[in-house]
Chains A and B, each alone.
Chain A
């Protein structure tokens, strides 16, 4: 007796329909799309997971499957390079702004890039202008082409221990807005003794040139010349930036750190007045500090009228192979960069919302949570975080950070430091 004859008739019909027919309910189930999504920073799971759940509830035919999250933007770029080689790219990828050049360069070698222009055009002429400001949108462009939509955005802000500020005789509500004021405050906090330091702005301690770019841009400078061939800080502004960094270290008796974790540990122990980092950590830092002291945030000092700040964060790109997955991926991109999603991310982290409409939703939240509002106050100063060509940024930074370390320790003069910085950067730019 043939085995198939034992199967129920209905099952046979269902299999036949599933194999042959189009447009039936069974084939609709087969049409379900699963999107492979990769985002860096595993701790970002706290907002990526809820967003994906909401998206899947609204779009039952699209499933979101997260890949293992790389620990940082550099590792994520590496994962993308490997995926490009083996043909195993995710469908949606959250690329650091500073890594977007490298991503496009890597993918274009195998014609794997997916420009978003057709998707944006299909949304109608007003969609972009209604949802995104041009300055932020530019963060997702490479050579004028939109490859990604900004998702997380942050400019450096100051985190301070309000209790120490009070103990030093200052008013936390009138936190200084310029470097002179900050240096004076740091001196007064440092004078409290008992192992307490005033401030830490060890530019060479972090794993990117974000603080250095913030210093130069806030003084009105540029990172590279107009033609992109040489550095843009080989001038008076560059020298002023170097002098400022050395003065901060000398005048406040700053303990120059080799790693950012050193001064963050000190801050959490209640032994550091203030330091600079991304607003993305507001929620996490608030939890870590708990009730030990009052943590607040303040804007980064911007000295020049034309000054700005480099924007960190990441943009969401499509790296799917086929059109079906690309269409589904675009729905996901629109969802996570939409006003509700952006407001949710801003509330759960401290990131600036990238969607213009999210600002209205967040007005009340910011009024009640001033610690979270600081990043939003700086939106107008957001400038692109300059990324050196040919993925050279990391190597250039490895050379530059050594100069900053010596500069802030007082081993070299600002003039010598600038010369070494310019020479090292230019030689790597022209490699």
Chain B
């Protein structure tokens, strides 16, 4: 009897302790969950709900329109142009950024005395805010009074309308984005390079792989694969989020040639006040970024498996 009761009490005691422990765990994660719900889940659910309505900011009521906003977006030539431009922009920025950042990181990684200096130089642009830097770039690339325009004039070459020529506007914005993102990726690659054990290079040298290209191909590049994935993924997401550059430099012009999906979403939601349609465009944007991120993950996994 005593043994049974002690056993029972022991079991209940353990269960109670476990319950207390679980309760404590819930209390601990509670604030984080609350914040995520308030700042992410609720706004996202609201956007999702609005995307099925015709709500306009200021309206006293709204109507359920089902998938009408999404079908309208698919048939909207301006949205198609914005999506195409966004992909073109990402196509110019992401590969160039990753290659340049890796190149500079490899160069700086081999420095010993001047390494800190280069790290600082590459880190500075990350601290600058884009709207302000956009104004600086608008002067540098000004087609009449900018230093590049003056250089072209000096060599009697024709002026280039970096932001006003429809054929150059998107490329000019891409150039600035490459400048900004390269610095960010450079830091990531530099951190990745420091994690590669020196012993691997020493062992490879013993096996005859002691030349720069051989070392890069056989050790550095495979070892950097996870870092490259992170760099490519973050750059892609940040590239798709291009907004300030377009607002400050071109307003989506000339003739919509630098119109991008986020700027179009902003116009619909906050300029034309069509919250329903703007919400649908937001979800399309999120779906695009998610799809690209998944594809990048898949490719990286296959490469790792191979």
Contacting residue for B163 out of A194, A262, A266, CB 8 A: A262
Contacting residue for B272 out of A82, A194, A395, CB 8 A: A395
B1 CB within 8 Å of chain A = no
**C-alpha gap A85/B57 in the complex (Å):** 8
B242 CB within 8 Å of chain A = no
B212 CB within 8 Å of chain A = no
Interchain CB contact under 8 A, A255 and B161: yes
Q: Which of A323-331, A351-359, A400-408 contacts B (4 or more CB under 8 A)?
A: A400-408
Interchain CB contact under 8 A, B150 and A195: yes
A interface footprint on B246-268 (CB within 8 Å = 1, 0 otherwise): 00011101111010000000010
**C-alpha gap A110/B271 in the complex (Å):** 21
- The SS class assigned to the A binding surface is helix
A interface footprint on B49-91 (CB within 8 Å = 1, 0 otherwise): 0000000011110000000000000000000000000000000
Q: What's the tally of chain A residues with a CB closer than 8 Å to chain B?
A: 37
Q: Contacts A78-B270, A258-B169 given: A109-B60 contact, CB under 8 Å?
A: yes
B164 CB within 8 Å of chain A = yes
Q: Which of B8-16, B102-110, B138-146, B189-197 contacts A (4 or more CB under 8 A)?
A: B138-146
Interchain CB contact under 8 A, B250 and A259: yes
A106 CB within 8 Å of chain B = yes
Within 8 A of B (CB), among A54-94: 74, 78, 81-82, 84-85
- The SS class assigned to the B binding surface is loop
**C-alpha gap A109/B273 in the complex (Å):** 15
Interchain CB contact under 8 A, B254 and A256: yes
Within 8 A of B (CB), among A239-275: 255-259, 261-262, 265-266, 269, 271-272
Interchain CB contact under 8 A, A265 and B142: yes
- Give B145's nearest chain A residue, CB to CB: A269
Interchain CB contact under 8 A, B138 and A255: no
- Give B275's nearest chain A residue, CB to CB: A81
Chain B residues, CB < 8 A from A110: 60
B interface footprint on A108-124 (CB within 8 Å = 1, 0 otherwise): 01100000000000000
A391 CB within 8 Å of chain B = yes
Cβ of B64 to closest chain A Cβ, rounded Å: 19
Interface size class of B (residues with CB under 8 A): 20 to 34
**C-alpha gap A195/B156 in the complex (Å):** 11
B interface footprint on A396-424 (CB within 8 Å = 1, 0 otherwise): 00100110011001000000000000000
Interchain CB contact under 8 A, B249 and A259: yes
Cβ of A77 to closest chain B Cβ, rounded Å: 8
Interchain CB contact under 8 A, A256 and B138: no
Q: Contacts A395-B272, A398-B267, A405-B254 given: A197-B144 contact, CB under 8 Å?
A: yes
- Give A85's nearest chain B residue, CB to CB: B58
**C-alpha gap A415/B289 in the complex (Å):** 42
Interchain CB contact under 8 A, B144 and A195: yes
**C-alpha gap A81/B153 in the complex (Å):** 49
Q: Contacts A74-B271, A81-B273 given: A258-B138 contact, CB under 8 Å?
A: no
B interface footprint on A269-292 (CB within 8 Å = 1, 0 otherwise): 101100000000000000000000
Chain A residues, CB < 8 A from B143: 255, 262
Interchain CB contact under 8 A, B60 and A81: no
**C-alpha gap A271/B145 in the complex (Å):** 8
**C-alpha gap A394/B144 in the complex (Å):** 30
Interface centre among B58, B161, B267 (most CB of A within 10 A): B58
- Give A399's nearest chain B residue, CB to CB: B78
Chain A residues, CB < 8 A from B245: none
Interchain CB contact under 8 A, B272 and A394: yes
**C-alpha gap A262/B161 in the complex (Å):** 10
Chain B residues, CB < 8 A from A406: 255
**C-alpha gap A265/B250 in the complex (Å):** 15
Chain A residues, CB < 8 A from B187: none
A49 CB within 8 Å of chain B = no
Interchain CB contact under 8 A, B250 and A109: no
Chain A residues, CB < 8 A from B57: 78, 81-82, 85
Interchain CB contact under 8 A, B142 and A262: yes
Cβ of A244 to closest chain B Cβ, rounded Å: 20
Interchain CB contact under 8 A, A402 and B253: yes
Interchain CB contact under 8 A, B138 and A265: yes
A207 CB within 8 Å of chain B = yes
A204 CB within 8 Å of chain B = yes
A interface footprint on B263-303 (CB within 8 Å = 1, 0 otherwise): 00001001111000000000000000000000000000000
Within 8 A of B (CB), among A371-401: 391, 394-395, 398, 401
**C-alpha gap A311/B143 in the complex (Å):** 32
Interchain CB contact under 8 A, A255 and B253: no
Cβ of B108 to closest chain A Cβ, rounded Å: 35
**C-alpha gap A301/B135 in the complex (Å):** 32
Cβ of B123 to closest chain A Cβ, rounded Å: 29
Interchain CB contact under 8 A, B163 and A394: no
**C-alpha gap A265/B251 in the complex (Å):** 17
**C-alpha gap A106/B60 in the complex (Å):** 9
Within 8 A of A (CB), among B129-175: 138-139, 142-145, 149-150, 153, 159, 161, 163-164, 166, 169
**C-alpha gap A106/B166 in the complex (Å):** 37
Interchain CB contact under 8 A, A258 and B164: yes
Interface centre among B143, B159, B258 (most CB of A within 10 A): B143
- Give A397's nearest chain B residue, CB to CB: B271
Chain B residues, CB < 8 A from A259: 163, 249-251, 253
Cβ of B13 to closest chain A Cβ, rounded Å: 50
Cβ of A360 to closest chain B Cβ, rounded Å: 41
Cβ of A103 to closest chain B Cβ, rounded Å: 9
Since A258-B163, A262-B138 are in contact, a sample of 15 more A-B pairs with Cβ atoms closer than 8 Å, ordered by chain A residue number, is A81-B57, A84-B58, A106-B58, A109-B60, A195-B144, A204-B253, A255-B143, A256-B254, A259-B251, A261-B138, A265-B139, A265-B142, A394-B272, A401-B253, A406-B255
8 closest pairs, A vs B, by CB? A106-B58, A81-B58, A258-B253, A269-B145, A258-B254, A81-B57, A402-B255, A109-B60
- Residues in chain A within 8 A of chain B (CB atoms): 74, 78, 81-82, 84-85, 105-106, 109-110, 194-195, 197, 204-205, 207, 255-259, 261-262, 265-266, 269, 271-272, 391, 394-395, 398, 401-402, 405-406, 409
Report 20 cross-chain contacts, Cβ distance below 8 Å, ordered by A residue.
A78-B270, A81-B58, A81-B273, A82-B57, A105-B58, A109-B58, A109-B59, A109-B60, A110-B60, A195-B150, A255-B161, A256-B254, A259-B249, A259-B251, A262-B143, A265-B138, A265-B139, A391-B273, A395-B271, A402-B255
